[in-house]
Amino acid sequence: MQTTRNSQMPIKIIVLANSDLFVDGLLRILNDNEHVDIIDSISNLETCLHLIADSQADILMIQEQLIETPYEFFFKKLKKINLQLKTLVFGQLLETDFLINIIRSGANGYINSNMSSEHLIKAVQHVHQGRLWAERSVLEQLAQDALQMENILENIAMEKTRMLSDILTKREAQVFQWVLKGLSTKEIAEQIFLSEQSVKLHLSKLFKKFEVTNRPQLLLSAFEKVSPVSNIIPLIQMTLEKKAPGQKKSPPVNHET
């Protein structure tokens, strides 16, 4: 049902821009298209934010010089007002570094001054569908940067895992391996041909090394120690607390890494 509505209803757009020849031409193209409905074109950001909150706009088109810095906070502020809002940045002589930064920060696409009217409407429709509108060169750079960051984080995690392994004996490592897979004490004993009492002994040594008292704490502590992000557990707890307003907050947990 939602798909039918979106295909029939015009795309509602708010334009945040200072008036100039380029903006005037862009507005003419949008106004001439039956699939687009311009709610308003304004130059004041605060007025624009109120309009976003009061309207059911699908897309906010932003002139590049009106984007506040830092970019990430700016786009987060827009999403906080309207989670479904898509953002399409436009301007003249947009630099590649700027384009990469705004896409990373949450923009859904951008339009250069050399774009034809056909491509403008296509960009609007593309972004309205929840897809990213950007040139291939920018997408390739974003993909390359993401891959490099993934490799960096993976290498950090691997190095931390090796360091973690160095503090464990062979038997402790074996027991820990099966704890990670969720096996009970009895099942672990059967896997490594030890008595349950011996497994419990190795578990107690693991608890002592990680400064915990039970299996869930052991897993959380190990996860935090190998994570490339420092203090990952408090970060997760803080995020979950924000998702559950009204609940009494637990005291912060201090995990050394």
30: exposed, middle or buried (Cβ count in 10 Å: 0-12, 13-18, 19+): buried
Given this model, what pLDDT does residue 230 score?
65
Strand order in the sheet with 59-63: 36-42, 11-16, 59-63, 86-91, 110-112
Residue ranges in 86-169 assigned as alpha helix (H): 96-105, 117-128, 136-166
Rounded to whole angstroms, the Cα distance separating 19 from 44 reads: 12
pLDDT computed for residue 44 by the predictor: 94
pLDDT value of residue 233: 65
Going along the chain from its start, the domains and CATH numbers come out as: 6-134 (3.40.50.2300), 152-231 (1.10.10.10)
CA dihedral 88, 92, 93, 94 (to 10 degrees): -20
Contact 79, 85 (CB under 8 A): yes
What's the CA gap between 140 and 2, in Å, rounded?
32
pLDDT at 146: 81
Provide the total of helices (H) and of strands (E) in the chain, helices listed first: 12, 5
State how far the Cα of 189 lies from the Cα of 200, in Å rounded to an integer: 9
Tell me what pLDDT residue 33 has.
93
What is the pLDDT, as a whole number, of residue 256?
Answer: 40
Q: What is the pLDDT of residue 250?
A: 46
Residues in the chain, pLDDT under 50 = 1-6, 248-257
pLDDT value at residue 249: 47
